[in-house]
Structure 1
Amino acid sequence: MELPVSRRWAVGALLALTMATGVIDAVCYLRLGKVFVANMTGNIVFLGVSLSPGTGFSIAGSLVALAGFVIGAAVGGRLGRRFRGSPRRWLGLAFGVESAVLLVIAALVLVGVLDGAGPVLVKVFVGVLGVCFGFQNATILVLSPPDLTTTVLTRTLTGLVADGVLGGGKDAKIHRRLGSVVAIFAGAGVGALLLRVSFSGTLLFAVVLVASAGLVFVLAPD
């Protein structure tokens, strides 16, 4: 899928999505049972660690997040390929739907649905968030932006160092790669800090980031 907007606008939108990833994974780790819904590498590590008793990690929570992510990725991949010829409309719709789902979750948190909720309801929230971020990752994969996956930073960090001065290279993408690292770091940090003030407000911040990315892909110049 070709970028429907100029590269500068696209990079800004993708960095906003990367920041949203940091926010939501901070929320899930700190408030929804020490689990990730976007970073599946970390989540699978948690799943392995949870096999040892007394670690505080939940096998069921990690499996639910993983299952949700797989479902979201499957749906996002199929729809992304189907609408490959209309990238502006598809990306606006995809991130609009994602932000709408996050908004519903924020509203449910605001009215106290999670207050005193049992483990089953918490896992439902985790599963839905997993679907959202599997969907986001599949959409980004179809878009195929270089060094801006919005989730996985291991390859980004490797490229930043190996292709840069430290690795003996002359990387022209250093700003983009560094921006990706900073965005997810900032998202996690801001998410953790906002959680001290408002759970629903933290989710709303992620909604704004995802919705802004969708609007960029709809309205920004090409």
Structure 2
Amino acid sequence: MTGSRDHGPLPVLLLALTVGTGLVDAFSYLALGHVFVANMTGNVVFFGFAVGGASAISWNSALLALGCFGAGAFISGRYGSARGIHRGRLLAFTCGAQGVLVTVSATPAAFADPARRDTRLVMIALLAVPMGAQNAVVRRLAVPDLTTTVLTLTVVGLFANRTPNEVRLRRVASILSMMAGALAAGLMLRHGRLAAPLWAAAAVLAVCAVTADRLRPRETAESWG
């Protein structure tokens, strides 16, 4: 798939998902104890720290996030590999399922104590599964420079490659979207309710699901299919 392919509204929707990722990952790191549910590179490093004796990091949290993320990617990858499925329908279904799990995970954040080990582990699992699913689907959608979670290569491409302004703008937008989500989550946790970033992420997912479904052309249409 090349950058010249018609992606329809997908770039805008993926930027919205990038904001959602910033919300969820900031919440998991700040409220669930030094663990990411979307950025698995960080968890691999955290697991190494914990095994090495770092007291502030939980190896089982990092390992649980990795396993549940992988499970979500596996399930979503099998669904997304079906031939003939429209990319809009695939994104709509995935965002809808993600929204349900993120909403469920917000319940213990609102009514329980995430500092408790069992509550924390349940929330990590509930959040890592949908983020793994999102990553698998985004790979299937194949919109250049919009991974929604991993920005390392995006930053490298921004500074190392000579690219058209449109490409550079897309990369900058991806970075700023993640930053905006993380900033919003940080402010919500500081001044609002603990579950606020998850409610906000669930709302973003719901909007993306409805928008992708409404804008999806007929299954036989070639446009961004």
Structure 1 length normalisation: TM-score? Answer: 0.88
Listed one character per residue, the Cα deviations across residues 135-180 of structure 1 (whole Å, up to 9, x for unaligned) are 110011111110000000000001111114xxxx555400100000
Q: Is the contact between residue 83 and residue 90 of structure 1 (CA under 8 Å) also seen in structure 2?
A: no
> CA offset at residue 74 of structure 1?
0.3
Q: Is the contact between residue 26 and residue 186 of structure 2 (CA under 8 Å) also seen in structure 1?
A: yes
Name the counterpart of 2:174: 180
**Structure 2 vs 1, CA of residues 171 and 101 (structure 1 numbering), >3 Å: closer, same or farther?**
same
**Structure 2 vs 1, CA of residues 170 and 142 (structure 1 numbering), >3 Å: closer, same or farther?**
closer
Listed one character per residue, the Cα deviations across residues 15-46 of structure 1 (whole Å, up to 9, x for unaligned) are 11001111111111111111000001111111
Among 199, 212, 218, the residue aligned to 2:213: 218
> CA offset at residue 89 of structure 1?
2.4
> CA offset at residue 54 of structure 1?
3.7
Structure 1 residue ranges (4+ consecutive) displaced by more than 3 angstroms after TM superposition: 169-172
1:46, 1:16 → 2: CA distance? 27
Name the counterpart of 1:57: 57
Alignment of 1:194-209 (within 5 A): 194-196=188-190, 197-209=192-204
**Structure 2 vs 1, CA of residues 160 and 84 (structure 1 numbering), >3 Å: closer, same or farther?**
farther
1:123, 1:139 → 2: CA distance? 25
Q: Is the contact between residue 102 and residue 126 of structure 2 (CA under 8 Å) also seen in structure 1?
A: no
Work out the number of aligned pairs and report it: 213
**Structure 2 vs 1, CA of residues 35 and 117 (structure 1 numbering), >3 Å: closer, same or farther?**
closer
3-state DSSP of counterpart to 2:27? helix
1:129, 1:49 → 2: CA distance? 22
> CA offset at residue 56 of structure 1?
0.6
1:91, 1:198 → 2: CA distance? 29
Alignment RMSD (CA, Å): 2.0
1:93 partnered with 2:93: yes
Listed one character per residue, the Cα deviations across residues 170-203 of structure 1 (whole Å, up to 9, x for unaligned) are 5540010000000111111111110121112221
Gaps of 5+ in 1: none
1:125 partnered with 2:123: yes
Listed one character per residue, the Cα deviations across residues 73-115 of structure 1 (whole Å, up to 9, x for unaligned) are 00010001126423332221111111111112223432x1x32
Alignment of 1:24-173 (within 5 A): 24-82=24-82, 84-110=84-110, 112=111, 114-115=112-113, 118-164=116-162, 170=164, 172-173=166-167
